[in-house]
Amino acid sequence: MGATLGLSMGQREAHALTAEEVYSIASGDNDARIAALQKLATKGDPALPAFLEALAADTVKVAGNKAYIVYGDDVKDAATGAPAKLPEGAEDVVNNNRMSSEIEAALAAGKLASPDVAARAEAIDALSKAADESKLPVIDKALAAETDAKLKTLLKAVRAKAMLTSSDAGTRIEAIKALAEDATPEARALLMERMAGTDETDPAVKGSLQFALDKVNRKLAWGEYAGVLFTGISLGSILLLAALGLAITYGLMGVINMAHGELMMIGAYATYAVQNVFRNHFPGAFDWYIVLAVPASFLAAALVGAVLERGVFRFLYGRPLETLLASWGVSLMLMQGVRSLFGAQNVQVENPSWMSGGFDILSNLTLPYNRLVIIAFAALVLVGMTLLIAKTRLGLFVRSVTQNRPMASCMGVNTARVDTMAFSLGAGIAGLAGCALSQIGNVGPDLGQNYIVDSFMVVVLGGVGQIAGTVYAALGLGLINKFLEGWAGAVLAKIMVLVIVVIFIQKRPQGLFAMKGRSAEA
């Protein structure tokens, strides 16, 4: 810091600051200091930034009618930059929040022409904190030179904020109209602040404020409704992925598998493991680790599912209570196994760069890339599973065993093998759900516990064994849950959704879609 100040002071031989000017900025009441600073800032004096940096660093003292920059034992005359002796009784310069904002804004004005986008963004933010009519020439100059679209939008908002402080009513109305067209949450905040304040007394301006505020609220409402709709579809796609595996293991096979959530967890940890392999051994291809993580998560969960079906569930078919208790015990074992292997703390799975960020649809609506990818992924998994069940030999065997096991066995179908393959398929789809979930949050041993109840609700609500019903139920519950969250909060929304599902099942026990055929008659 000392070297910086020394260098800055050493470059002052050609400066135009006078002792009276620097003293007027350093001493006196805040209004007078700010007025003096604003007057000098418009001149673009090259020596001013160095003095303001010292002022912001609290290294300026005043004595008599002079200001001094003091850093340790090094004392300089603030106006001439020459070495000086600090007089007795010199007082520290104290800057309140308002004065500090003005100093930051004046320093920011010089950074608005920086080639670095981040530096310009920081300067615009500092300028916004003290935006008033005096800053308009600086803002207009920066606006004309700015090439970055986002920064240009920010500068327009700062310009409108500065124009709102104008003494001319017409200028204020012009700013209000610009904010109404901008229709961003920041514009609404500025309009509401001006509306609630006591500075505005002109009736015409107040009328324009109310009209603009109503217009902005209407525009933002569309973005808020669309945001709720998108988050509802996003939640529905996650519930769909979580429930599709249950549509086979519970819906088609009748197995109440309380360890289904832990199969999702295994898929998420498989994704984490693949990520680490790419990070450590193939860093250049890290953005494509997800391509390998998808089949890895499916195979890991499917393998565990096959072991569980052969080792536990095949002995419990037709005994729902024992199956429920056994699967609950299995879920505890799997969670403890993961804790022992990976630790009890959550682990982070990083998005590939092409899944980071989002589409800016409206000023208050951004669609994250990772959520869009998950929605598309859920649709692909749904299509693939539907084709597998409806068009393949395995699907035919699964449907035949589900509808009439004795007859299928008489026709030569190896029912035990079909059970294992079907259960493995359901477990593998749960693993895919875990892979998707890893892209929107941290991965932990209890990841699956957050979705197991919702998954069963989706399957039961849609109709046991009905994939189409599972789709409608997942999307419906996702949308209802998000709309209710905005009205009643997250906890009450969960309770209300559960009550709605219970009432619906009481009125229609077969769910949205009733099972047809011999299995329904049995």
Which portions of the chain are predicted below pLDDT 50?
1-15, 517-522
CB neighbourhood size of 499 (10 A): 10
Regarding whether 168 and 254 lie in a shared domain, the answer is no
7 is a domain residue: yes
Task: Indicate whether 75 and 169 sit together in one domain.
Answer: no
Cα-based angle 171, 175, 179 (whole degrees, multiple of 5): 170
Determine, yes or no, domain membership for 208. Answer: no
Stated pTM of the model: 0.71
> What is the distance between the terminal CA atoms of the chain, rounded to a whole angstrom?
85
Residue 317 and residue 256: Cα distance in Å, rounded? 10
- Does a structural domain hold residue 209? no
In a domain, 498, yes or no: yes
Q: What is the pLDDT of residues 144-179, one digit of tens each?
A: 888 888 888 888 888 888 888 887 888 888 888 888
Same domain, 438 and 346: yes
Q: With contact defined as beta carbons under 8 Å apart, do 421 and 356 qualify?
A: no
CATH number, residue 457: 1.10.3470
277 and 241 housed in the same domain? yes
Answer yes or no: do 172 and 24 share one domain.
no
Same domain, 343 and 197: no
Is 113 among the domain residues?
no
Of the candidates 201, 218, 250, which is a domain's last residue? 201
* Domain co-membership, 263 together with 371: yes
Q: Return the pLDDT at 264.
A: 92
**Domain for residue 120, yes or no?**
no
| Chain segment 349-378, per-residue pLDDT in tens | 988 988 888 888 877 788 899 999 999 999
Give the per-residue pLDDT at 516.
54
Query: Is the domain of 297 the same as that of 157?
Result: no
282 and 425 part of one domain? yes
Same domain, 372 and 464: yes
Neighbours of 489 (CB within 10 A): 11
Angstrom distance (rounded) from CA 388 to CA 245 = 13
Report the domain count for the chain: 3
Closest CA to 317 of 243, 447, 405: 405
Residue 153 sits in the same domain as residue 273: no
Q: What is the predicted pLDDT for the residue at 399?
A: 78
In a domain, 294, yes or no: yes
Residue at 109 is within a domain: no
Give the pLDDT of residue 16.
62
Positive or negative: CA dihedral 396, 402, 405, 407: negative
Q: How far is CA 376 from CA 288, 381, 502, in A?
A: 17, 9, 30
Residue 241 and residue 381 in contact, taking contact as beta carbons nearer than 8 Å: yes
> What was the pLDDT predicted at 335?
92
For every residue of 122-174, DSSP letters joined together read HHHHHHHHT--GGGHHHHHHHHHH---HHHHHHHHHHHHHHHTT-S-HHHHHH
Q: Which domain holds residue 66?
A: 2-95
Amino acid at 267: G
Angle at 69 between CA 66 and CA 74, to 5 degrees: 125
Q: Indicate if 169 and 62 belong to the same structural domain.
A: no
Last residue of a domain, one of 95, 112, 144: 95
Tell which of 201, 219, 237 closes a domain.
201
